[in-house]
A and B are shown apart, each in its own frame.
Chain A
Amino acid sequence: MTTIPLSAARAGLVSCETCELLSRPADAAEPGYCPRCGAGLEWRHPGSLQYTWALVIAAAICYIPANVLPVLTTTALGSSDSDTIMGGVVLLYTTGSWPLALVVLVASVMVPLGKLIALTYLLVSVQRGSIRDSRDRTRLYRMVDFIGRWSMLDVFVDTFTVALVQLQPLMSVEPGPGVLFFAAVVVLTMIAAESFDPRLIWDSAPGEPLRRHAT
């Protein structure tokens, strides 16, 4: 404990999330409203962990049908063909286009799964009051937050293909139910990442006064 860095909470101040104005809270439990912009002041996102947990669990549940159910049903010359995400990856790989298979594998399988695992890890570590690798965990959170929007790639491809390939009698592409769940996974993890308050990572640091508040 050489020098404990000063944080807003430790100084008994609260920062406005909207205009970043540092102000003295009206009450420790109910910090009140920002005197400058009028936004509600909060020490941390209320129920951040609960929200994030709920969304992560929902996303995890959706992840299963997203991978099991077909995302695309191609009907070509009377024979229809349903493909799941992993099936598509395998098909791409076996037909020789492994870079494409890698892209799909990373964007559609690993990224959502990685996000789920990362968020779970962050949640568990925060709840356990871990103080280790707080900096790395913050970086992880930033990555999760950043990458979120890119994992809709699969859904985009799907919608484009469905819209473009409609040569009715010869060939048509129909979206499968899997794509709905996949989109749900992406959206839910994005909201989960959004609702997670990264400041909680640092609340477990020694001397931080908000250890009990955040749940």
Chain B
Amino acid sequence: MADTPDLPNVPQATVVPGKRARISVIWIIPILAAVVAIGIAVQRVMNEGPTITIVFRAAEGMEAGKTFVKYKDVNIGQVTAVKLSPDHARVEVTAKMAKSAADLMVEDAKFWVVEPRVTLSGVSGLGTLLSGNYIGFEVGKSDKKERKFTGLETPPIITGGQPGRQFVLHAENLGSLGIGSPIYYRRLQAGQVVAYDLAPDGKGIDLKIFINGPYDRFVQAGTRFWNASGVDVSVGAGGVDVRMQSLVSLIAGGLAFETPSFATGPEPAAADTAFTLYSDQATAMKQPEAISTRFVLYFDESLRGLSAGAPVTLLGLTAGEVTRVGLDIDPATSKVRGRVDVVAYPERLVTRLSGEQRATGESLARSAQQRHALFQQLVERRGLRAQLRSGSLITGQLYVAFDYFPDAAKAKIDWNQDVPTLPVVPSTLPDIEAKLTSIIGKLDGLPYEAIGADLTTALGSLNGTLRDAGTTLNHVDSNVTPELRSTLEDLRRVLGTADGLLKDGVNTTLTGVNATLEDLRRPLATADLVLKNTDATLLGQNSAIQQDLRDALQEITQAARALRVLMDYLDRHPDALLRGKTEVKP
């Protein structure tokens, strides 16, 4: 080892391979670092979702890096930048979406800002009070990818995936309804108003409603929707009936729906079916009148208080309604008269018939021939007539009543007319008026002045009579009173005599009584003596009985004393009962 020959030109062979060629293990570290770093980078790139831009009117509570895009409360993206649009009118929000949400970014996806919202129908987005606003997301149905969206100003109420169906309602006006107004089915909230818009022709409002999950199958083709806002108060013979869907609907407005029994079908209505929104339940649930008979009535009396829609009753039951109130000139007499068009719905009356008769009624209602024959008969034989009647004396509303007037003049129905004319009878209401008028007229005709004059003279004579009575009394006072006094004095004298007479009589009677009493005293004294003797013999001081009694009592006293001694002894020596009396020790 030590003796190396000093030959500079001859290299010494090495035993081990040169260190240069060897690659150190240390290179594992950079390779590992590179692998990890590349791995992370690859993962990042792989997870890189699309970057989208959403345009909002204002960036309310949105902050780059802090605001998330959430779908079903899951973060699917994060806002990376918030900046003004090039024209400074709107806000462009750039958000980086998660890769998993990449295929959700389709054309009709919806974005809106979720912020705490307090509405009449509830409080939503309370979580944002702590976490700040976030961007809500709703999937679209389109397949077309999109990277630029326009945010909604108001959050859509229905979020995807919620079972249920959407329908369209045609309403006259919006009333107190709004987005989120509840829809009730049997007073259970079953859905809500999602959107509303003016109908394209400007005539009415188209409401989009959403009926939730299991309830949507109760919406059928025949289902009726009505406005359930507010309180429905009706006063009937049965009292006051107040109907209200819920307190919320009272304030926020609401709708209700139900399928009337006559329109129930097994098939639920298809989504987006259009319905009419009725103003109230009664209107909504009214049965459509399939069969109707029209009549025209000519009245010669005032039609004030009669309006289209007024009921037509048969024996007090609603059988139809007034469709038109107008005027008519009788071609024969050129007389202007009132013309009232009514329509009768025989079906309504058929439903009032009892079970067995209903079938007959239905066939009757269906066949115009039979119906006409029946009507004919009723009018001609029974005297069925139309008459105007007052529904309310206060408001003066009139209605048309079909009723029997057997005494009415004979009439016929001409069915060949386009609209047959039903004979009428004059209203009884004007009669009442006329009678009242005649009564008032008679009252008016009364000779009030003559009566007044008569009354005055009668009173005058009465006055005279009263004065006469006064003088008569005076007369009595001056003439009759002295006489009366002397009469009384006489009377007193007579009484004094009577007194003397009575005194004498009574005295003699009393002496008689005295003597009698004296006689009674004698036998009593004798009785007294007898009793005294008896006393002496039986109860005297030294009587035998008395002596015996005293002795007996003394005996008893001694016995009692002995008994007491015995009791005392027993008390002290109870054993004496068993052992006998022991010697008393001195």
Contacts and interface: CB of A to CB of B under 8 A. Distances in A.
A47 B29 contact: no
A78 B24 contact: no
A175 B33 CA distance: 20
A94 interface: no
B118 interface: no
Contacts of B66: 79, 81
Contacts of A188: 29, 33
Contact of B29 (A58, A77, A78): A58
Interface in A20-34: 26-27, 29
B88 interface: no
Contacts of B29: 54-55, 58, 188
A27 B4 CA distance: 9
Interface stretch (A61-69, A123-131, A146-154): A61-69
B1 interface: yes
Given A65-B40, A81-B66, A50 B24 contact: yes
B26 A55 contact: yes
A47 B32 CA distance: 20
Contacts of B461: none
B135 to A, nearest CB: 14
B130 A27 contact: no
A177 B40 contact: yes
A12 interface: no
B19 A215 contact: yes
Interface string B116-140: 0000000000010011100000000
Contacts of B127: 78
A57 interface: yes
B30 interface: yes
Contact of A62 (B19, B37, B130): B37
Contacts of A64: 37
A40 interface: no
A201 interface: no
Contacts of B268: none
Given A47-B24, A47-B26, A51-B24, A58 B33 contact: yes
Contact of A58 (B32, B40, B130): B32
A26 B24 contact: no
Q: Which of A27, A46, A47 gathers most chain B CB within 10 Å?
A: A47
Contact of A215 (B1, B20, B30): B20
Contacts of A78: 127, 130-131
Nearest to B78: A82
A81 B14 contact: no
B448 interface: no
Q: Which of A57, A69, A81 gathers most chain B CB within 10 Å?
A: A57
B574 to A, nearest CB: 89
A77 B131 contact: yes
B26 A54 contact: yes
A72 interface: no
A184 interface: yes
Interface string B1-38: 10000000000101000011011101101101110110
B65 interface: yes
A188 B36 CA distance: 15
Contacts of B132: 79
Given A26-B1, A46-B19, A81-B66, A65 B37 contact: yes
Contact of B24 (A54, A57, A61, A69): A54
Contacts of B14: 29
B281 to A, nearest CB: 46
A189 B12 CA distance: 38
Contacts of B33: 57-59, 61-62, 184, 188
Contact of A54 (B19, B30, B36, B40): B30
Nearest to A195: B26
Nearest to B26: A54
Contacts of A184: 33
Contacts of B36: 65
Contact of B37 (A29, A55, A61, A77): A61
Contacts of B37: 61-62, 64-65, 181
Contacts of A27: 1
Contact of B30 (A46, A55, A82): A55
Interface string B60-104: 000001100000000000000000000000000000000000000
A47 B18 CA distance: 11
A46 B26 CA distance: 12
Given A27-B1, A81-B66, A58 B30 contact: yes
A47 B19 contact: yes
Contacts of A57: 30, 33
A34 B26 CA distance: 26
A50 B131 contact: no
A61 B40 contact: no
B421 to A, nearest CB: 80
Interface in A69-85: 69, 77-79, 81-82
Contacts of A215: 19-20
B40 A50 contact: no
Interface string A81-121: 11000000000000000000000000000000000000000
Nearest to A69: B40
Contacts of A29: 12, 14
Nearest to B14: A29
A172 B37 CA distance: 27
Contacts of A62: 33, 37
A64 B38 CA distance: 10
Interface in B244-297: none
Contacts of B40: 65, 69, 177
B146 to A, nearest CB: 28
B26 A50 contact: yes
A122 B416 CA distance: 122
Interface string B35-65: 0110011000000000000000000000001
A78 B30 CA distance: 39
A62 B26 CA distance: 16
Nearest to B22: A47
A191 to B, nearest CB: 9
Interface in A180-203: 181, 184, 188
13 contacts: A27-B1, A47-B22, A50-B24, A51-B24, A55-B29, A57-B30, A58-B29, A58-B33, A62-B33, A65-B37, A79-B130, A181-B37, A184-B33
Given A55-B30, A79-B132, A82-B65, 9 more contacts: A51-B24, A58-B30, A58-B32, A59-B33, A61-B30, A64-B37, A77-B131, A78-B131, A79-B66
Interface of B: 1, 12, 14, 19-20, 22-24, 26-27, 29-30, 32-34, 36-37, 40-41, 65-66, 127, 130-132
Interface of A: 26-27, 29, 46-47, 50-51, 54-55, 57-59, 61-62, 64-65, 69, 77-79, 81-82, 177, 181, 184, 188, 215
